[in-house]
Amino acid sequence: MDTLFFFGKHRLWWNWELDVDWYPQWEEMIATIHPARLTTYMNPYLANTVQKNKKNYRRDLFAEASSYNYLIQNITGQPYIQSSASSSFTFGTIDLTNPDARQWTRNVIRCNMLGDQNGCPTNVTAIRGAQSGFMSDFGEYLPWDAIVASGEPASTVHNKFPSLWAQTCREAIHEAELDNEVTFFSRSASATSPTYSTLFWAGDQLTSWDAYDGMQSALSAILSGGLSGMSMSHSDTGGYTEFRARIYNMLRTEEMLIRWMEMETFSGVMLRTHPGLLPDLSAQVNTSLATLNATRLCSKLHILLHPYRLLLMNQATNNGYPLVRYMFLEFPKDIQSWKVVTQFMLGDMFLVAPIAKHKAHARDVYLPPNTDWLHVFTHVAYQGGSGEVGKNVTMESPIGTPIVLQRMNYSTTNGVAMKVANAMHAYWKEEQLLLLSSQH
The b-or-e profile of 123-147 (16+ CB within 10 A means b, else e) is eebbbeebbebbbbbbbebbeeebb
User: Higher pLDDT residue, 37 or 417?
Assistant: 417
The span from the CA of 194 to the CA of 3, in Å, is: 34
On the question of pLDDT at 327 being above 50, the answer is: yes
Reported as a single tens digit per residue, the pLDDT across 256-287 is 999 999 999 999 999 999 999 899 999 999 99
Q: What is the pLDDT of residue 122?
A: 64
Q: Which residue has the higher pLDDT, 332 or 20?
A: 332
What average pLDDT does range 185-189 have in this prediction? 94
Domain boundaries, the chain: 1-200, 324-438
pLDDT at 401: 97
On the question of pLDDT at 53 being above 80, the answer is yes
| 244 pLDDT tier (thresholds 50, 70, 90) | confident
The single-letter code of the amino acid at 146 is A
Instruction: Tell me, yes or no, if the two domains 1-200 and 324-438 fold the same way.
Output: no
Residue 330: exposure state from Cβ atoms within 10 A (0-12, 13-18, ≥19): buried
How is domain 1-200 classified at the architecture level of CATH?
A: Alpha-Beta Barrel (3.20)
Residue 133 is which amino acid?
G
pLDDT tops 70 at residue 6:
no
pLDDT, tens only, 82-139: 998 888 899 999 999 999 999 999 999 998 888 887 777 665 666 766 678 899 999 9
What is the structure's pLDDT at 2?
Answer: 46
Q: How much is the pLDDT for 4?
A: 41
Quick one: 324-438 is in which CATH superfamily? Golgi alpha-mannosidase II (2.60.40.1180)
pLDDT at 440: 58
- Percent of the chain at pLDDT > 90 equals 76
Return the amino acid letter for 309. Answer: R
> Which residues 6+ apart lie within 8 Å of 68 measured at CB?
100, 101, 104
Count of Cβ atoms closer than 10 Å to residue 113 Cβ: 28
